[in-house]
Amino acid sequence: MATFEDFQKLDIRVGKIIYVEDFPEAKKPAYKLTIDFGNEIGIKKSSVQIVKNYKKEDLKEKLVLCVVNFPPRQIGQVLSEVLTLGVPDKNKECLLIKPDKDAPVGVKLY
Mean pLDDT of the chain: 96
Residue 80 counted as domain residue: yes
DSSP string, 4-48: HHHHHH--EEEEEEEEEEE-TTSSS--EEEEEE-HHHH-EEEEEE
- Give the model confidence (pLDDT) of 30-84 as tens digits: 999 999 999 999 999 999 999 999 999 999 999 999 999 999 999 988 999 999 9
Residue 17 counted as domain residue: yes
State the total domains in the chain: 1
Here the CATH number for the domain that contains residue 53 is: 2.40.50.140
Residue 73 counted as domain residue: yes
